[in-house]
Amino acid sequence: MQQSEVNPEAGFDLAVIGSGPGGYEAALHGARHGMKVCLVEKGSLGGVCVNWGCIPTKALLRSAEVYELVRNPASFGVNATEVSFDLAQAVKRSRNVALKSSKAVEYMLRKAGVEVRQGEALLTGGAGLEVLGADGSRKAITARNIIVATGSQPRVILGLKPDGKRIITSREALIMKEVPASMIVVGGGAIGVEMAWFYAKAGSKVTIVEMMSRILPAEEAEISEALKRSFEKAGITVLCGARLDNVQRNEAGVGAEIIIEGQEPQRVEAECVLVAVGVTGAIENLGLEEAGVVTERGFISTDALCRTSVPGIYAIGDVRGGMLLAHKASAEAAIAIEAIAGGSPEPLSEPLIPRCVYAQPSVASVGLTEEVALKLGHKVKVGRSLFAASGKANAFGQLEGFVKLVFDAENSRMLGGHLIGHDAVELIGELGLACRFGLSASEIVGTVHAHPTLSETIRDAAFNAVSPA
């Protein structure tokens, strides 16, 4: 029987809807500002990122990396026999990593005094919202300010509606019990690339189908091409400027035609198709329209300080649009809380948000690509350096990739940094600082980098930029 509580729970300074990286960070920031905070979450704490996205994905990728290493140990002086990949065990480990991360979020919220309400949130207008429990209960809450941080959900494209078995999303890909013999990955963005790499290393015959002219189309063309070559060397088929058509499910899996302009259609068969064509904001069933919150193209409209069209209601993270990244959501959480607290936070600059793809070689970038910098009217100076020249990379046996740094030719200030290489994502912090504070190539060169480290390759690229042509 549905229960209803008519007397609202009053006195909250802040109610946060969603507990992903944006939501729980907003709740913690609010608590640190002395606010009485309520957080509403319908699923496990940590949101999609912790439970079904960033964290379990990286755990699986690590399993594939270990498997790849022990399959080829002889050159390191290690003898190993009868090596096999146990997907069920890898998935079990990844789920345990996700659970531990979720528990860590729970601990931080409890320690900060944040009150967690389990259920679905519904905006009721003004400062009100209701929490709809799984048991049918309805509890009213009032708060001076509300932050919507409900994240995103996968896009569905015509003819490729997921069924959880033959046509799947990344969520199903994270909990498969057996490695499929073959897989078609639709989408060459970060999610598609990471899942393609994982399942190829686990033993699947993988084909990536990307509609754009190259995979990772937002990255430097040189980096996209380098990753494509690396994938093809690893046995992954990469088809760009392509799409699936005439998709049919059958007992063996999925049959389809790959359409590439100017070529005859290719008939392909695979055990499953993974749809990774991006996401849209999770804005349904929140009562946004009734509350007067303006949305556009699947996302909540906000200003630079994350304020929606309704005073006292904010939106952060994927639901706000722009770059759909966990660390962007966390940064916006701080901005929204500072605005609520009466401060004047600095708006987020999207070019300064680092972008990372965690296959191996991994890809990381921040700032402007050379192409964008030229379009914006900059005269550019580019510095490059190969990881093959790095003593550390040679010691680790990981020689793929390079660093590309883009500088303003007139003042030598850094405009963008781009890397592809083994664990290149771990180097992006230095480039983020260099871009934010406009460091020159000479200042990077003049900064002592420890030896032997992969970070020396950044210094070498900067040195290449200041060296005479």
CATH label of the domain that carries residue 396: 3.30.390.30
Percent of the chain's residues with pLDDT above 90: 88
- List the structure tokens of 42: 């319908």
Same domain, 400 and 321: no
> Is the predicted pLDDT of residue 92 greater than 80, yes or no?
yes
CATH for 261 = 3.50.50.60
User: Average pLDDT in the 16-25 region?
Assistant: 97
Most confident of 120-129, 159-168, 201-210, 252-261: 201-210
The model's pTM is 0.93
| 388 class by beta-carbon count within 10 Å (0-12 exposed, 13-18 middle, 19+ buried) | middle
Same domain, 139 and 265: no
The answer to whether the CB of 414 falls within 8 A of the CB of 368 is no
Same domain, 52 and 129: yes
Min mean pLDDT across 31-45, 129-143, 346-360 is at 129-143
> Is the predicted pLDDT of residue 378 greater than 70, yes or no?
yes
What's the pLDDT score for residue 157?
A: 85
- Which residue among 277, 293, 321 closes a domain? 277
158 assigned to some structural domain: no
> Is the predicted pLDDT of residue 463 greater than 80, yes or no?
yes
What's the pLDDT score for residue 45?
A: 96
> Is the predicted pLDDT of residue 9 greater than 80, yes or no?
no
- Name the band, by pLDDT with cuts 50, 70 and 90, for residue 352: very high
Q: Which of 327, 418, 422, 451 is catalytic?
A: 451
User: Average pLDDT in the 333-356 region?
Assistant: 96
Look at the chain and report how many structural domains it folds into.
3
- Name the band, by pLDDT with cuts 50, 70 and 90, for residue 353: very high
Q: What is the residue-wise DSSP string for 400-418? A: -EEEEEEEETTT-BEEEEE
Give the number of other CB atoms < 10 A from CB of residue 84: 7
Rounded Cα–Cα distance for residues 178 and 173 (Å) = 10
What's the pLDDT score for residue 274?
A: 97
In angstroms, the Cα distances linking 174 to 153, 235, 277 are 16, 21, 16
What's the pLDDT score for residue 247?
A: 93
Q: Is residue 449 flagged as an active site residue?
A: no
What's the pLDDT score for residue 134?
A: 85
416 assigned to some structural domain: yes
Same domain, 208 and 188: yes
Same domain, 305 and 226: no
> Is the predicted pLDDT of residue 148 greater than 90, yes or no?
yes
The answer to whether the CB of 330 falls within 8 A of the CB of 21 is yes
What's the pLDDT score for residue 180?
A: 97
Type of residue at 85: F
> Is the predicted pLDDT of residue 333 greater than 70, yes or no?
yes
What's the pLDDT score for residue 125?
A: 82
> Is the predicted pLDDT of residue 8 greater than 70, yes or no?
no
Percent of the chain's residues with pLDDT above 70: 98
Same domain, 367 and 262: no
> Is the predicted pLDDT of residue 244 greater than 80, yes or no?
yes
Same domain, 80 and 122: yes
- List the structure tokens of 444: 């990077």
User: Average pLDDT in the 313-341 region?
Assistant: 96
409 assigned to some structural domain: yes
305 assigned to some structural domain: yes
Same domain, 273 and 400: no
> Is the predicted pLDDT of residue 10 greater than 60, yes or no?
no
The answer to whether the CB of 27 falls within 8 A of the CB of 37 is yes
- Which residue among 277, 298, 332 closes a domain? 277
User: Average pLDDT in the 356-365 region?
Assistant: 97
User: Average pLDDT in the 111-129 region?
Assistant: 92
Q: Residues with Cβ < 8 Å from 225, sequence gap 6 or more?
A: 214
- Name the band, by pLDDT with cuts 50, 70 and 90, for residue 132: very high
Same domain, 238 and 251: yes
What's the pLDDT score for residue 349?
A: 94
160 assigned to some structural domain: no
| Tens-digit pLDDT profile for residues 29-85 | 999 999 999 999 999 999 999 999 999 999 999 999 999 999 888 888 998 888 999
Same domain, 250 and 145: no
The answer to whether the CB of 121 falls within 8 A of the CB of 40 is yes
The answer to whether the CB of 46 falls within 8 A of the CB of 102 is yes
Average pLDDT, the chain: 94
In angstroms, the Cα distances linking 278 to 68, 321, 353 are 28, 12, 18
Same domain, 375 and 438: yes
What's the pLDDT score for residue 217?
A: 94
Q: Which residue has the higher pLDDT, 4 or 61?
A: 61
Q: Which ranges of 174-323 does DSSP label H, i.e. alpha helix?
A: 190-202, 221-233, 288-291
The answer to whether the CB of 102 falls within 8 A of the CB of 44 is yes
Domain of 329, in residue numbers: 4-153+280-350
13 assigned to some structural domain: yes
Same domain, 267 and 203: yes
What's the pLDDT score for residue 3?
A: 41
- Which residue among 253, 277, 301 closes a domain? 277
